[in-house]
Amino acid sequence: MSKSYIISSNQIDFINETINSLCSKFQIDDMNADFLCVEPADKKQSIGIDKTRKLKEWFSVKPYSSPNKFAVIQNADLLTVEAQNSILKLLEEPNDNCFIALTLANPSNLLPTVLSRCEIIQDTKVARSSEDSNFMMLSRTQQFKYIEDLFSEKNAIEQNKNIKTFLFNLLSTLQKQLEKDHSNTKLRQNIDLVDQTSIMISGNTSKRLALENMVINMKY
């Protein structure tokens, strides 16, 4: 059984459900002294080494009323580099009855040395967002295959939701790229193209045709 986990999601419901599931697995009530939630101090935008030192001290004490102890670091992407380095040994060699989970939207915001020591529990919706963001890195053939896969969902409502989410994620990625490269005219043209495609699929235009046309007209 793994002792160190990363819960990757931007959905609080998924994170809470996963934490509750792990609590049950470790036979811990999240309301007792054997459960600890680590969060940024009031008005602070980071989790520093002072917090992780207290966490290690907490783990050094035997469980109070449960067979195990379980700590959750919320918004773990706010851990400073120093704080992340300070918990490496804890993640790699926790005590027999100690478990820890880190929650955040994007695991890539953590040090590789932290990632390698944890089992990642991935929200499939977050995974989908990452795939959408990488769409422009695909070959033209792969992009057409990606579009085709969007239509594999037979439920019309879910299919429409997936398409809109894809366009939203793609647009967000292009806009972030433009922030770093204001003079890139191709990026601006692609943003306009995605906008136009979003408008088209909201009307009576064939969604498949609109998306395929978008792929054909993308600038590189």
Residues 171 and 65 placed together within one structural domain of the fold? no
Say if residue 88 is in the same domain as residue 178.
Answer: no
Q: 87 and 9, same structural domain? A: yes
Residue 135 and residue 96 in one domain: no
In this predicted model, what pLDDT tens digit does every residue of 69-109 receive, in sequence order? 999 999 999 999 999 999 999 998 888 899 999 999 877 77
- 43 pLDDT higher than 80: no
Clarify whether residues 22 and 118 are in a common domain: yes
How far is Cα 5 from Cα 114, in angstroms, rounded to an integer? Answer: 10
Mean pLDDT confidence for 165-183? 88
User: What pLDDT band is residue 6 in, cutting at 50, 70 and 90?
Assistant: very high
Residue at which a domain ends, from 60, 93, 122 = 122
CATH number of the domain that residue 67 is part of? 3.40.50.300
- Is the domain of 98 the same as that of 201? no
Distance between CA 120 and CA 5 in Å, rounded? Answer: 6
Domain closes at, from 122, 145, 164? 122
Q: Are residues 200 and 96 in the same domain?
A: no
Domain range enclosing 40: 4-122
Boundary-marking domain end, from 87, 105, 122: 122
Same domain, 35 and 73: yes
Claim to verify: residue 85 and residue 30 sit in the same structural domain:
yes
Same-domain status, 9 and 117: yes
Alpha-carbon span 153 to 163, nearest angstrom? 10
Whether 80 and 136 share a structural domain: no
For the segment 175-203, the average pLDDT, to the nearest whole number, is: 91
Overall average pLDDT of the 17-36 stretch = 92
Residue 23 sits in the same domain as residue 91: yes
Number of structural domains, the chain?
2
pLDDT of residue 212: 96
Compute the distance between CA of residue 102 and CA of residue 15 in angstroms, rounded to an integer. 10
